[in-house]
Structure 1
């Protein structure tokens, strides 16, 4: 299966309970009273538009984050040829979610239905209502969300329609694309405006703030941190980017603690509506898990005794064919095959891992055998599945945290890895080491809070303080022992990847920006083609908009990517 599909159907008319504070155990409960695609400007309710914007944003980030994670081995990618792994039609749903819904629901390969209202369409509808009513906090939230959305569209597709897009029934039905650089600049302007609006007096507060529960100081920190992300992403084409990044660091007004993390929280309802985390809903089913997890990531964490591994992954069995037990052609056909020569030459793991970690190699597109109750699946972080307490049982609906997990958007631990990148660029090795230490510690601390979501788990299997300290010290020792700058970059990048589990957008950007880590498992196909530098435009865009022509291939770089052409860069395909 190419992508993690979203299963979240939502009504924005009746809110039953609000739990979108930034803690691991709170969730959103929504009633399915009306069709969200019937939400139109003539309803003139700013809260309804803001609700729609916030929820669609969580779904869009989850979708983009899953695809990017697959390309960068955080998740499993199903496809041997990069050019053909993701078709233009694969992006119709997230395009609709970002711009404007066509009114249709999208079904994935497993029959899961999903509905979007359209972030930018609702932002456009909200803005005049918010200004007329002096609802500046409504407006500010929508501006932060719009900024993140349009930057992500550029990061995935390059130049996209923006200035002429989503202008209502009288607008241009064939809007031209704006340059990625122009859209990035517009995002920075939106964030500056949002910061001002968060500080203004208002006539009424939003009925629901699903991210920070009305803490406007935290929203300002999120806006500033998104600016840092933008500066870092365009640093190859912006001589002032690092100085601008450091200016925000100096101000101290950015995300630094878990209480300030920018994330979307899912609910635990299975029906009416199903608001569970999509990775839970897609895998904790009657027929077992639907998706495979990344052998590269599981091997990386297992070999390093990573204390987060029991939170990230739940093993349904304690043995994998070819490892502890005999090869099995029916359940794991590759266990009877020889490793490709380029895997042997690079000393990469192939097909199976020890200790029950049953996943797939990068690009393995073999058929799906009857292993739904054997393969490793998503754990309690971030999808709120089961904590791995070595019970080795088949999963079922309702297990673990019942799907009340999170989609991380910008976490405090990730910010430390951003700081580490800047330190490495400035040849500040002590600073990079400190940031690495901080990022690891914050990530582990946050992930460990999710164990409590699985009330049936034996939490005696949680790592103790000594195990956590040993892991962090070992990674710092790896950094200290690095012989070359490349080796230090690899240590930072590998741990950044682990911390990004749940949203691979920043790994995809980092990889194209830096070329690290160089240790990634290559595609199982010896000649898979060049790494995707940007994705094909969505099919609906090129079919319905005569101003946009489809790209000839996925080698087209986004405006900030000035690195050499593939396959020389990045080093691993």
Structure 2
């Protein structure tokens, strides 16, 4: 199901390129007559394409990471054989980051070129015209893209990628070490900050992220630097000092008004500008995705005020819970609970109150439950607010898809600060956890207004927020030990990350927390995925690169032991 979703997502994203789809280029040996050459396209048109493709890339990688840490639903009982992590299934992520194949088109008939390819094509004209802010946006996007590729794949081609010319192209670029690419990303961000501080003779025609607020772009660049420093703290002795230096400067994202995110629209066709999760689930045939039982159960049991905004229930009762088991719509409701679920006290198959999703690694077929299963709500996807009406969904209902793709949020920075503080004083993390949860809740609750047809009497009240915050405060104080405190902080961080699981996957490998995640449906699913396989297109078309032996190969900053036995590395 997610495989269909990923490629449909690309179609949806490409639809947003209504200003650029006919005018951007694909750098390849084979010239595509349907595309313009670099010398025929302006920096503005390239930048439009770069920005939208970046949102695509973030969504795709966010799904990959979120599925592994129960922020999303993973379809695959054995970690090493999950369909969506098969090399052939990862080509889209690779192509949209680097460069599309010759004449690459999507089902919509539109084309995408690749973030780095378009940046390389844009930069000469931008440099010549002193378009400092065009360049700076490209540098921030490039830095985030290459760091994310390292986090998921390990060593990747960079210094030799997209180099050469038509006469002497580098057809088989060698990979660079992940550590050196992190260094390159930091250098790009320093240069981006310098460019944002300059006055440019012409501004970008479209800034889809900050609408020309260059101070916020500087904050985003510094916040990405903080993420990089924290991410490699296990292998870089000066990482925490560098992280704290940016904190001391105060020049980073610390208010939700500064959040780095992509805003979607509600137009359904020509172009389809809706959030892709909305477009996949608000269809004539109902929901197209399953939501993770672990996350829904955790939020339901803790009375999290965000739950009605994250999830929309189409049905008031789930088979096996309030309704009788049903073999046709939820076959597992008639199955015995796996022993390892019983031993760990985990929910299995169904949840109360109509929350209808799937367990981690449950790979059953697709029953006729499109209008029964829980779907994405008003945050971040622009869907329906859950007002307990249980009246189903339709194309255009709720917020019409006018959601966001979160990339770097102020609430997440508070959880980074919690992690940094807990390394030396476990109790010092509580205040940052509470502040991060509060910022996340306040942001999410503003999305309720997108669904004007909902009964707002079900909206979270100030008292609900206060009670929830007080409860996690008490839970931290009453935690049995330090591990339980780390678990609580990690759980709250994962809830705040809903909509982008990239940093959840990183955090899990970096810290080993939370230890409370629902196990895979399969009792022995094999070793946890420490990095993804290289995409098939990369290893099949590049004679300098062999496939990875398996997905237990660790990225350079991951020096934890083998999962799940490794102790948390704090």
Q: TM-score, normalised by structure 2?
A: 0.94
Q: Write out per-residue CA displacement over residues 155-190 of structure 1, whole angstroms, 9 at most, x where no aligned residue.
A: 010001000001253320100000000100000000
Residue pairs, 1:349-368, within 5 angstroms: 349-368=347-366
Residues 1:125 and 2:129 aligned together: no
**Distance change in 2, residues 1:127/1:97 (3 Å):** same
Where does the alignment leave 5 or more consecutive residues of structure 2 unmatched?
Answer: 27-34
Q: Measure, in 2, the Cα distance between the counterparts of 1:358 and 1:570.
A: 34
Shift of 1:535: 0.3
Question: Is residue 2:170 matched to residue 1:166?
Answer: no
Q: How does 1:372-451 map to 2 (within 5 A)?
A: 372-427=370-425, 429-430=427-428, 432-451=429-448
Query: Equivalent of 2:145, from 143, 149, 160?
Result: 149
Q: CA deviation at 1:348?
A: 0.2
State the 1:113 CA deviation: 8.2
**2-structure distance, mates of 1:535, 1:119:** 20
Residues 249-260 of structure 1 correspond to what in structure 2 (within 5 A)?
Answer: 249-260=247-258
SS of match in other structure, 2:12: coil
Change (3 A) 1:141 1:570: farther
Distance 1:408 1:277, change over 3 A: same
Separation in 2, partners of 1:113, 1:306:
42
Compute the RMSD of aligned alpha carbons: 1.6
Q: CA deviation at 1:8?
A: 1.8
Query: 1:200-219 maps to which residues of 2 (within 5 A)?
Result: 200-219=198-217
| Contact 1:12 1:51 survives alignment (8 Å) | no
Q: 1:530 to 1:39 in 2, by over 3 A?
A: farther
Give the whole-Å Cα distance in 1 for the aligned partners of 2:36 and 2:493.
40
Matched, 1:550 2:547: yes
Task: Tell me if structure 1 keeps the 8 A contact 2:411–2:440.
Answer: yes
Say which SS state the counterpart of residue 407 (structure 2) adopts. strand
- 1:164 touches 1:171 (CA, 8 Å); kept in 2? no
Deviations 1:431-461 (A, max 9, x none): x111011101100000001001111111110
1:9 and 1:114 in contact (8 A); partners too: no
Aligned to 2:90: 91
Is the CA contact 2:382–2:399 (under 8 Å) kept in the aligned structure 1? yes
Residue 224 of structure 1 aligns with which residue? 222
Q: Does 2:296 match 1:298?
A: yes
Q: Kindly provide the CA deviation profile for residues 330-381 of structure 1, in whole angstroms up to 9, marking residues without a partner as x.
A: 0000000011100000000000000000000000000000000000000000
Q: Give aligned pairs, total.
A: 551
Hey, what does 1:314 align to over in structure 2?
A: 312
2:16 corresponds to 1:8 = no
Q: 1:320 to 1:66 in 2, by over 3 A?
A: same
- Is 1:516–1:570's contact at 8 Å kept on the other side of the alignment? no
Rounded Cα–Cα distance in structure 1 between residues aligned with 2:44 and 2:274:
23
CA-CA distance at 1:280 after TM superposition: 0.5
1:249 CA displacement: 0.5
Q: Which runs of 5+ in 1 are unaligned?
A: 16-30
Corresponding residue for 2:31? none
Q: Are 1:273 and 2:271 matched, yes or no? A: yes
Q: CA deviation at 1:73?
A: 0.2
Q: What displacement does 1:283 show?
A: 0.8
Q: Contact (CA 8 Å) 2:158, 2:175: kept in 1 or not?
A: yes
- CA displacement at 1:10 relative to structure 2: 3.4
Alignment partner of 2:477 out of 476, 480, 504: 480
Residue 283 of structure 1 is matched in structure 2 by: 281
- 8 Å CA contact 1:417–1:439 kept in 2: the answer is yes
Aligned partners of 1:12 and 1:36 also within 8 Å: no
Q: How does 1:71-90 map to 2 (within 5 A)?
A: 71-85=68-82, 86-90=85-89
* Local SS of the residue matching 2:252: coil
What SS does the aligned partner of 1:256 have?
coil
2:21 & 2:311 partners in 1: Cα distance? 32
- Residues 387 and 451, structure 1, Cα contact 8 Å, conserved in 2: yes
- Contact 2:24/2:37 (CA < 8 Å) preserved in 1? no
CA distance in 2, matches of 1:561, 1:148: 18
- Structure 2 distance, partners of 1:146, 1:526, is 40
> Which stretch shows the higher mean deviation, 194-203 or 310-319?
194-203
CA distance in 2, matches of 1:501, 1:181: 28
Superposition deviation, residue 428 in structure 1: 5.1
Q: Which range moved further: 122-131 or 247-256?
A: 122-131
TM-score by length of 1: 0.94
